[in-house]
Structures are given as structure tokens and as C-alpha cells.
Amino acid sequence: MPVGLSWPEAAALALLALALVVILGRYLWALRWSLSRDRGSALPLPRGSMGWPFFGETLHWLLQGSHFHSSRREKYGNVFKTHLLGRPVVRVTGAENIRKILLGEHTLVSTQWPQSTQIILGSHTLLGSTGDLHRQRRKVIFSRAALECYLPRIQKVVSWELRGWCMEPRSIAVYSSAKTLTFRIAALILLGLRLEEKQFKDLAKTFEQLVENLFSLPLNIPFSGLRKGIKARNMLHEFMEKAIQEKLQRNNPEDHSDALDFIINSAKEHDKEFTIQELKESAIELIFAAFFTTASASTSLILLLLKHPSVIEKIRQELLSNEIPCTGSQLQLSRLRYLDCVIKEVLRVLPPVSGGYRTALQTFELDGYQIPKGWSVMYSIRDTHETAAVYQSPPGGFDPDRFSATQTEAVGRFNYIPFGGGVRSCIGKELAQAILKLLAIELVSTARWELATPSYPAMQTVPIVHPVDDGLQLYFHLLQPGQGREG
């Protein structure tokens, strides 16, 4: 303690010194990013805050959810800078801005996921592939022939799960139940796994731990999100290696009907053999493509149909008029035009993910600002849907008819981007839409559902849309023959 100072005075002096260090640190952090602007461009950096040293605004983003982006958009505009998950980021909203990004793939920008996501998922995935390899694998896994193969079995899984919900005397936590449904689809139909129920539950729990830590700070230290994600990945890889070895040893042509089989067989046709590591990473990616986001969208579908019973009745009438009490093919699904509009509107109002990531390959202009080479660009799906003028009538309302044949052109290509766009649009979008349609058909044909709580839950948006604390609790009941949905 300095001579002549009392303990309170010394403590106050220490706090003052600490405050000055913090202020100086934050100033130097902001200065560091201001100096990173491309001096070859006369344009300024976007407005915004880079937060605290190293952590940036990551904690604010995780805690505030969608309010983080909306509050900063209102303060700084449709293009603003921030610092998330260890990277400088420019957040972008608006159809014209997003058009430039999505159509600038490979010239202005390249696909880029957070470092934690790349580490956990690995380097042999569709997310990280480019060019002919990306196009070829994408075409094989989600081709029309592949989807036709998946759909009848998806329908059986959906029907079986829904009947289980209806037989449950207690209320159902919809988001948890939807995750069970979509994980079962991924495990049984995309990977062809043969699982006992305990194995299934253990695998689902481990995969959930992996996904929950995909978007974390790139710190591989004890108890960090990244370390937890890596641990979950290693456990999944160990299980997948055994399952893949069994699949390769069986080599029964009659069993070649899941997505993993399509990958293996396509490689053989092109005189290529995938390594076990490549197949393990592909297997995890297939579950990732069909699991959390589809569970989120399924939960949103059930919630929004509950809030709008007139939409349920219109779906039911369309099924009757097409003589489709149930369906199992793309041809049948394509005839259900109103149902297609319903699914599109669900994904507009509550898109599962908030946006997509890219990296600037060169410095370019956006909305009067420079986007420096090497910075991350995060385009906003949710904000674009919420702010587009074309959706303001009815303002914020749930209106499937806005996607009818007479109004689709007015929506515009880049005002509606629930699956992203361009060559890097969501790899599982056709599969996800088919699952949602089959779920809707089974729901309105065989069940009625009602809220088990006094009010609807709030919805959390980070990292994906879901009810806070899994608060969407519903009772499901089987319909009797000829019975309509009760209010």
C-alpha cells in the first residue's frame, strides 16, 4: 500500500487504475480494427461496435438473441460491423445487399463458417467443399431419385412418432419431441443405422451436445464450448466408424437406399473410394442437415397452425379435394399448392437460422461502405424477412396466400431466403420441406392439439429458433374417423 494512503483510498486508486486499463484496452481494440480498413478504398468502414478485446460482442449476441441484431440495425443501419466468435463481422440486411453477396460467391466472397464449426464438423463436408465436388455430392444425396426413396419411409416415421404423441396422457414438450423425430429420420433413413432405443437416445444426446457447441469461441481449453463439441464429435465418430464398417461389409444391393449408400455408390461409379474419416464426417453432416433446423421448423409449424385453425381447415380441404389422405411421393406433394404456401410462410415468419456466413475475397462496396478483404460477412435472413416492404401487408401477419401463384412474383427472389441462396443454399432444403409437408399432412389428418399452458412461450432465436426452456407444451389427441379439429 502506498505510504500515506488508507485502505479505502488505496482500493479506490486500484479501481481507478483498473478502469483506465479497461478503457485503454477497449480503445486500442477499436483502433486495431479501424486501422484494418483497406486504405486502397476511399469508402469508410460500416458503423458499429467491436465490443471488448478478443470476446468482441459474442456474449451480447448469445444473451440478447435477435434483439442484438435488431437494436444495432436500428442504431447503425442495414450494414454494420461487430466482432463475433473471434472474427470481425459485417452484418447485412436487405434484398439488394444480400443479392450482391449471394451472387458474388467465388468472386466477392467465399463460404465461411465460424472456426469452431469448421473444427468440429471437419474438412471433408459439403459445407467446406467447393466446385465440382460440392455440386456432385449435393446432387447425389438430395437428387429426385434419392428423395423418392426417402419419402415413404419418412412418412412412416412421422406417423409412428405422432401416434406416440397422441397416446401420451401428459403434455408433450414439442421442441424436444420434434428433435427426437428429426433425429430418428436422420439416423434411420439418411444413415441406415440399426439402433436399439437406448442407443438411439444416447446418440441423440451426444449429437445435441455437438450442435449446441458448434458456434462457440475458438478456445480449445477445459470446459470450453469448443472442447465439449470436440468431445461429442469424437464419441460420434467412434460410433459411426463401427456402423460404417458394418455397412461396407454387408454390401447388400437391396440395402442401398439411404443417403450414405448414395455417397458410397456414387464414389465407386467415379472410381473413387472414400476414406473412413470422410464417411464419418459426411455422416455427421447428414444428421446436421436434417436435425436441429428441421426440428426448429417443425416446432414453428405446429405452433403457427395452432394459432391459425382456419389454415388447418384449408389444408384439410386441399387434401380431400386431391384425394390424398396421406402421401409418400414428390408427385403427390407437388399437387398440394396451398400446403406449399403454408410451409413457405412458416419459414418466412420463423426461419430456423438467422443468417449465413461468408468471407470477403476482396474489398468491395456495400451500401456506401467498404467490406475489407478477409472480414466475415453475415447476411441476415430473419431481419430481411421482417423488414422487407413486400411483407408489410398484413404487417407481420401469418398469411400463406402471399405465396400463391398470383402473388409470388411480388415477393421477389432475395426478399425470401430461409435457405440462403445462390450456389451455397442449404444442402437439405428439399428434404426439410418434404418432412414439413409430411408432418403437416399427418397432423391435420390424424390429430388435434391444444395448449397445455396459460399462454404461448417466448421464442429464442440464437443459435436457432426454438421455444424458451422448451416451453411449448401441448396435448395431442387422435381424431376419430370423420372428426374435425376441435377448437
The candidate with the shortest Cα–Cα distance to 260, out of 320, 153, 186, 319, is: 186
The CA distance from 353 to 464, in Å, is 5
The candidate with the shortest Cα–Cα distance to 138, out of 450, 475, 481, 431, is: 431
166 is in an annotated binding site: no
Task: Outline where DSSP puts E strands in 44-97.
Answer: 79-84, 87-92
Q: Using CA of residue 294, residue 300, residue 306, residue 309, what is the dihedral sign?
A: negative
**Could you identify the residue written with the cell 470476446?**
55
The CA distance from 231 to 210, in Å, is 8
How many residues belong to the chain? 487
In angstroms, what CA-CA distances link 102 with 98, 252, 254? 6, 42, 40
Q: 321: phi > 0 → left, psi -120 to 50 → alpha, else beta; which?
A: alpha
Q: Using CA of residue 396, residue 399, residue 402, residue 403, what is the dihedral sign?
A: positive
The CA distance from 462 to 65, in Å, is 5
Edge-to-edge strands, sheet with 473-478: 172-173, 473-478, 447-451
Q: Which residues are annotated as a binding site?
A: 426
| Binding site feature residues for heme | 426
